[in-house]
Structures are given as C-alpha cells and as structure tokens.
Amino acid sequence: MSKSIVIKGGTVINPDGDARADVRIERGQIVEVATSLSGEIQIDASGCVVTSGFVDLHAHLREPGKEEAETIETGSRAGALGGYTALVAMPNTDPPQDSVAVIDFVREQGKRAGLVDVIPSGCITLARKGETLAPMAELAKAGVRLFTDDGTGVQDASLMRRALEYARGLGVTLAQHCEVAELTKGAVMNECQCCTDLGLPGWPSIAEELMVFRDIELVRITGASMHFLHLSTRRSVELVRAAKRDGLPITAEVTPHHLALTEELLSSYNPVYKVNPPLRSADDIRALTAGILDGTIDAIATDHAPHPRRDKEMSLDMAPPGMLGLETALGVVLAQGSFELRNVVALMSWNPARIAGVTKTHGRPIAPGEPANICVFDPDLRWNVDPERLASKSMNTPYVGHSLRGRVRHTIFKGTPTVIDGQAQK
C-alpha cells in the first residue's frame, strides 16, 4: 500500500487535453504526472489510454435478495474489470433500497469487497410500488444523491410531481425509468415488423416517450433536476434535446446495448436479448448516436442486469429482461466506431460522476493531488467475450460472437490496483 506505483508509457486523457505521461501514485493519491517517472511498482501502459476510472450510473448488483445472480462483490469485480471505480447500485433489491438500513448495508458490502465505490441509489417510492414516497430526506442524509424506481417508472403523475418538488428541496436528483406501463403489458420486444412476424406483443416507443415528455414538463414546473435512464428511441432524444435547449436541469444516459444491438436479434428466440427498454431499430441507434455527439446524452450507463442461467432459459415472455454490461461496456462502445476517445471518457467517467454526485472522488483529472481512481485501457485491442470467464456470477451477455474493440488493461481504485493486465487482483 505504501509502495509507489508508476503507470508508464500511456497517453493521459484529461478534460483539458491529452498528453503522453507517466503517472506516479502514492498513498491513494496521484503525486506526479510527468515523463520518465519510476516507482517501486511499474505498470506498463504503452499504447494505452490513462484516464479517470469509469462511473456506472446504472448497475444491478442484486444484493440483497438475489445473490444467486450477482453479489456486490462479484458485481464490483466485474466493474473493476470493466474499468469502473464507482458503481451506482440500483435500488430494486429485496428488500429494496428504500431505508437507511439497506442503503448502509449495500455501501458496507461495497467497502468489504473493496473493488469499487458502491454508491447506493434510493427508491423514489416505498418498495418501488409507486404509491407513497420513500423517506427521501433520511436517505439523502445517509448520502443518497440519486433516487429512482428503476425497473418501473413512477406511473402516477401527481406522485411524480410531489417527488420532484420534494427532491428539489433536498437538492437530490430523480432518475426516471420511462415506461408507461399500460402500453407495455406483456410486451417482449420493440413494436416493429419483426414483432409482427413473431406474434409477440409489441413494446412501443411511445411508452417511453410519453413519460419522457411528461417528466420534462414536470421538471419545467418544479425546477427539480432529473436524470433519464437508458433512453432508447429517436423521439426520446429529440424531447431531451429540446428540453436542454430550454435550459431545464435534465441529464440522460444510454446503454451500450442500445447503441450496438437491434430488435431483429429477438428472432433467434434467445431470451438473452430481452431487455427493458427493448432493443430498438437501427434508426433509433442513429438518433442515440447523434444525441451523444451533440451532448444531448450525457452518459453511457450499463444497466448491468445479471440473471441466473435458468431464468434466461425460460420462454421469451417469461424470462426476465436484462443483460450483463459492466465487463463489456467499453469494448461495445468503442466497437461502434462513432466516438472520440475523449468523448467516451466523458460519457463513462466525467459526466456520470457529476450526475451521481461523486465529483470529489471520481471523474477527476489525472493530476497531482487527485485521488488515484484510474482506468488504463487499450483502445484498439479486439477481443471476444467468453461468458464462462466473466467475473459476474451470471452469464447473460448478449455479445457472444461479437468482436469488441478496446479493453481495460488496468484499474486502480484508491491507489490500489484492482485489475492488472486484465486480471482481477482480488
């Protein structure tokens, strides 16, 4: 721990520019960024990008409640391998993250694992039932900055308005899963020609867009800040773009899979491609990409959703939605070839750190005096996913057979390497 570590030969990407530099770390802090440094432990970063560790706004770590699918430890390890140093833990656990006890438990389990900062999000409503507000002030006092009922959207517009008003008073952000439930009953996949052929109930884009629109208008009248989770449609991007133009305090994320995969994959009948919101069309992908490039979309978040094998061996309609994401996010995003590296770092580290309210420790520049939460990745390495070798407890990755580009080589969390040369260190 007290030994000095030097990351040698990489290109440092910082908000104010790129530079070829070595990075020396001591006692959890970056102490020097310069050329030709040496230290007791040397980590090779030649050909690699050195930047602040990634922050995932959207990880389902499943603990407490569904440890069969993932634990905070295995999820943290998957995160570290994906270059993450902080994960926002989604609140749809069992019991849900609507009490200080559960929030503390999740945070403590994160500390015990010691691989990333696990940042619990809180429920907006009790048990995510959409009926009464969760004790948001208590939770905020316990450190929660982001509140969401992810998995379902808050259906009741009046309740959502109250939640936003209440949140404004606390200075916290609500993160909405936009889905009008009445429009997606029994839905399995995007409403499209493919779903017509398969005879599956369609999951129309408008189910998402109606709630995006509603909540933008609620933000307009309440002034609270709002984050939109996993946007997936062209019109959603357009609505957010217009809202931002109006100066509303709104941020938005998209997932890697909504940038890379399309609805037709469901015609393989493989439930690994079932996800909420569903995989959409190539046109939606173009719109999401454009939204990223013009700054409408602030973050790429994984919606890492582990499920045990037997759950994904059910039929398409019975299988739960969701796919793994932490270990593949960078490789999937870079394989798209649409984004500059600096852009990707902003989407995966700097911006989400801001949205999660963790800018003191994450998403910082690589500079002396900064906390040593660092991701080192090879932006050009091509690789394939082997689901058997993932650190996650589950195997529901949709990327088997896909060629990914860009792989995390080292991750440093609070000055300690959690991943070296693609191997988790504990």
Partner 1 sequence: MKHLRSIDELGKDGLVKLLQLTDHMAEINQRPVPKVPALRGRTVASLFFEDSTRTRLSFETAAKRLSADTMSFNVSTSSVNKGESLRDTVATITDMGVDAFVVRHKSVGIPWQISQWTSASIINAGDGAHQHPTQALVDCYTIREATHTQSFDGMQITIVGDIKHSRVARSNIQAFSMLGAEITLVAPPTLLPPDVSHWPVQTTHDLDGVIPTSDVLYMLRLQSERMSQGHVPTLREYSEQYGLTQKRVMRLKPSAFVMHPGPMNRGVEMQIDPSDVKNSLIHRQVANGVSVRMAVLFELLGSGSSLGGQA
- Which residues form the interface with partner 1 (CB under 8 A)? 188, 191-193, 195-200, 202, 204, 268-270, 310-311, 313-319
- We find the least distance from the C-beta atom of residue 388 to partner 1, in angstroms, to be 17
Nearer to partner 1, 69 or 250 (CB): 69
Nearer to partner 1, 199 or 369 (CB): 199
Per-residue tokens: 22: 């070595």
Strand partners, 86: 55, 117
* Type of residue found at 84: Y
Nearer to partner 1, 156 or 317 (CB): 317
Query: Within 13 Å of residue 227, how many CA atoms lie on the same side as its CB?
Result: 30
Nearer to partner 1, 308 or 422 (CB): 308
Q: Helix, strand, or coil here: 120?
A: strand
Rounded to a whole number of angstroms, the CA Rg of the chain reads 20
* Type of residue found at 162: R
Cα 424 from Cα 33, distance rounded (Å): 25
Cα 266 from Cα 11, distance rounded (Å): 40
| Inter-helix orientation angle 157-170/205-222, to 10° | 50
Catalytic residue among 303, 311, 380, 421: 303
- Chain-centre distance for alpha carbon 413: 18
- We find the least distance from the C-beta atom of residue 184 to partner 1, in angstroms, to be 13
Q: Say whether the peptide bond before residue 371 is cis (omega within 30 degrees of 0).
A: no
Nearer to partner 1, 190 or 225 (CB): 190
Residue 205 burial by CB count (10 A; 0-12/13-18/19+): exposed, middle or buried?
Answer: buried
Q: What is the DSSP letter of 304?
A: B
Q: Helix, strand, or coil here: 193?
A: helix
Q: Are 239 and 228 in contact (CB under 8 A)?
A: no
Side by side, which strands form the sheet with 11-14? 17-20, 11-14, 49-52, 374-384, 403-413, 416-420, 423-424
- Chain-centre distance for alpha carbon 113: 19
Side by side, which strands form the sheet with 5-8? 29-34, 22-26, 5-8, 41-44
DSSP per residue, 127-146: GG-SSSB--HHHHHHTT--E
* Type of residue found at 110: G
Nearer to partner 1, 369 or 401 (CB): 401
Cα 364 from Cα 357, distance rounded (Å): 12
Nearer to partner 1, 189 or 250 (CB): 189
Nearer to partner 1, 104 or 197 (CB): 197
Active site residue 94: no
- We find the least distance from the C-beta atom of residue 363 to partner 1, in angstroms, to be 41
Which amino acids are annotated catalytic?
Answer: 303
